[in-house]
Structure 1
Amino acid sequence: MATNLRIGFIGAGNMAQAMAKGFLSAGIATPKNIIASSPVQDQYLLDKISELGCETTYNNIDAVNFADVVVLSVKPNIIPKVLQDVSSSVCPKKPLITSVAIGVSTEEMERKLKPGVRVVRILPNTPALVNLGASVFARGINATIQDAELTTRLLKSVGECDEVPEPFLDAVSGLSGAGPAYMYLVIEALADGGVKMGLPRPLSIKLAAQTNATAKMVLSTGKPPGQLKDEVCSPGGCTIEGVAALENGGLRASLINAVTNATEKSNFISRHIK
């Protein structure tokens, strides 16, 4: 059953669209209770939100005044200006301010808003577009248990969700935030391997992508990935030959370095957003 919760997006890009679709499909809000704001030059993004039946505006304050929950879904360097623009319309009681921007701390957001305003940082990832998001969130000093429960409900409508300490968020950005891009590279490379061995590309891509869904095995069985890998590698078989090739190519080290570098970039952003 849909609730009367009013949600305002500031920014109408892919993440806002994904979350809006998830909220609607989960019955958390009705189209008339969702609004998105964006500059006039981003009308094409607002059109996507409009296709869902939601309201749109060019004025960020319209979204703030409308909403019980505001989702800041703009780039990190834009967050300070947005907060400055809307701060006079934000009060401690309403709305709850959430942000998907990497590197912008709850403390930094709170400094730009009135004392007592409730702030939550949320980190969904792009598979939220298909309700398979891996999301976390961290509360600011004024956010309540009720705010955490509401945030969990919202994010679970587009995938999985956990509350974490805020210092974890840079590493989460490097792992699950950036992780879909790593997995797309893996799928593409596996598909290229299939094509090299004679498979038609559409079939090869389909098989590679579906094979990547073995991640569900880790979540559903609770077994460590290494154990599941060992169960597939028969002695002297073809799978262990493939695994050996990946080890020789440094796959593990490359993925570890990818998470490390992306985490460090998120930390760099957090130190330079003012």
Structure 2
Amino acid sequence: MTATGRRGLAIIGGGKIGEALLSGLIRRGGADGILVVERSPERAAQLTERYGVPAVELADAAARARVLLLAVKPQDIDTLLGLVAGHVDDGHLVVSVAAGVPTKRIEAALPAGVPVVRVMPNTPALVDEGMSVLSAGAHAGEQDLDEAEALLAAVGQVRRVPEAQQDAVTALSGSGPAYFFYLVEAMVDAGILLGLPRALAADLIVQTALGAAVMMRDTGEHPVQLREAVTSPGGTTIAAIRELERHGVRAALIAAIEAAHSRSVELGVDKA
């Protein structure tokens, strides 16, 4: 099949982020034109049954789809690129969501001129509230970025950054949901310690987190202003804030995000 005969999207890798993108895209636009490539037959069958999309071999996907979305773990990217290289040309658009893997590493493994767009999504794409950040490789033009952005916009917000900022993006928003889940877990445990049933504590914290996020998004106020509006002199909130500062929670969060950034840089180094 020639490049002009290709259409649609092939998601290569049916793990958590691949499924998050698949489910969101289908919710927005249906399954037409979407293919899945998954090395586990059991997982492939599961995705086909759940979403009604064909699971095909890699060569078939490359022959039929213009956009190839590489949704594998960074540790598996080199193996996948070795398999993909013989089936792609400059009529494809390769979109990679492998954390930490730079476009130049992908381009070096593919035929010359193949456009590559690097994306850092996150798992809230499962509920159409993802944050995806795009960067163009050496051969990707504005039209390629537009195409990738339209794809990711189906599952949330999209931003574009120079690729040099992608490791910071990975540390902040790519891994970011886990930080919030960790904090919510601790707050629910605190509610249980104070005598609340687990289900009630979870309901209180989840709705509080949702409300706080919407306030930050919709009011445009700085988080400090919003926090100060809750913090009365001599009240309960300032007592809690004092303990958070005393235990170095702010410093710990900054250090954690720096560690995630360092790991993203490490993952991007070609070990071959």
Q: Report the TM-score when normalising by structure 2.
A: 0.93
The amino acid of 2:259's aligned partner reads N
SS in 2 for 1:107: helix
Matches of 1:101 and 1:44 in 2, distance apart? Answer: 19
The aligned counterpart of 1:212 is 209
- 1:160 and 2:157 are equivalent in the alignment: yes
Alignment check: 8 A CA contact 2:130 2:156 kept: yes
SS in 1 for 2:107: helix
Alignment check: 8 A CA contact 2:81 2:110 kept: yes
Matches of 1:172 and 1:45 in 2, distance apart? Answer: 30
- 1:53 and 2:55 are equivalent in the alignment: no
SS in 1 for 2:100: coil
Divergent runs of 4+, >4 A = none
Matches of 1:145 and 1:52 in 2, distance apart? Answer: 31
Q: Which runs of 5+ in 1 are unaligned?
A: none
Matches of 1:247 and 1:124 in 2, distance apart? Answer: 31
Matches of 1:133 and 1:119 in 2, distance apart? Answer: 21
The aligned counterpart of 1:102 is 99
The aligned counterpart of 1:10 is 12
After TM superposition, list the pairs within 5 Å mapping 1:39-188 onto structure 2.
39=39, 41-57=40-56, 59-93=57-91, 95-188=92-185
Superposed displacement of residue 232, structure 1: 1.0
Superposed displacement of residue 137, structure 1: 0.9
Superposed displacement of residue 142, structure 1: 0.9
Superposed displacement of residue 208, structure 1: 1.1
Matches of 1:242 and 1:225 in 2, distance apart? Answer: 17
Matches of 2:241 and 2:171 in 1, distance apart? Answer: 25
- 1:20 and 2:22 are equivalent in the alignment: yes
Matches of 2:141 and 2:270 in 1, distance apart? Answer: 28
Matches of 1:211 and 1:261 in 2, distance apart? Answer: 28
After TM superposition, list the pairs within 5 Å mapping 1:188-207 onto structure 2.
188-207=185-204
The aligned counterpart of 2:231 is 233
Q: Which runs of 5+ in 2 are unaligned?
A: 1-5
SS in 2 for 1:170: helix
Matches of 1:273 and 1:64 in 2, distance apart? Answer: 26
The amino acid of 1:232's aligned partner reads V
Percent identity between the two aligned chains: 38
| RMSD over equivalenced CA pairs, Å | 1.5
Matches of 2:263 and 2:48 in 1, distance apart? Answer: 31
Alignment check: 8 A CA contact 1:37 1:46 kept: no
Matches of 2:130 and 2:257 in 1, distance apart? Answer: 18
The aligned counterpart of 2:31 is 31
SS in 2 for 1:235: coil
Superposed displacement of residue 77, structure 1: 2.2
Q: Could you list the per-position Cα deviations for residues 60-84 of structure 1 after superposition, in whole angstroms to 9, with x for gaps in the alignment?
A: 2222222121110111122122122
Matches of 1:249 and 1:46 in 2, distance apart? Answer: 48
The amino acid of 1:106's aligned partner reads T
Superposed displacement of residue 42, structure 1: 4.9
The amino acid of 1:220's aligned partner reads D
The amino acid of 1:100's aligned partner reads V
